[in-house]
Amino acid sequence: MKLTPRLLNIAKLVPKGSILADVGTDHGYIPVYLMKNKIVEKTIATDVNKGPLLSAQKNIKNNGLEDSIETRLGNGLEPIEPEEIDTVIIAGMGGLLIRDILMNHPKVTKSIKRFILQPMVAQDELRRWLCNNHFKIVEEKLVSEDHRIYEILVVEHGKDEIENEIYFEIGKKLIENKDPLLEIFIKKHIKKQNDIINNLIGQETDKAKNKLNQCKEKIHEFEEVLRWLKN
Ligand X SMILES: C[S@@+](CC[C@H](N)C(=O)[O-])C[C@H]1O[C@@H](n2cnc3c(N)ncnc32)[C@H](O)[C@@H]1O
User: Where on the chain is the footprint of ligand X (CB under 6 A)?
Assistant: 23-26, 46-49, 52, 75-76, 91-93, 97, 101
Nearer to ligand X, 150 or 167 (CB): 150
Shortest CB 122 distance to ligand X, Å: 14
Sheet containing 135-145, strands listed edge to edge, beginning at the edge strand earlier in sequence: 69-73, 40-47, 18-23, 87-93, 114-119, 148-157, 135-145
8 Å CB contact between 125 and 153: no
Shortest CB 75 distance to ligand X, Å: 5
CA distance 198 to 192: 10
Nearer to ligand X, 49 or 199 (CB): 49
Nearer to ligand X, 73 or 197 (CB): 73
Shortest CB 167 distance to ligand X, Å: 24
Q: Are strands 87-93 and 114-119 parallel, antiparallel or unpaired?
A: parallel
Nearer to ligand X, 43 or 46 (CB): 46
CA distance 215 to 11: 35
Shortest CB 107 distance to ligand X, Å: 17
Q: What Rg, from alpha-carbon coordinates, does the chain have? A: 19
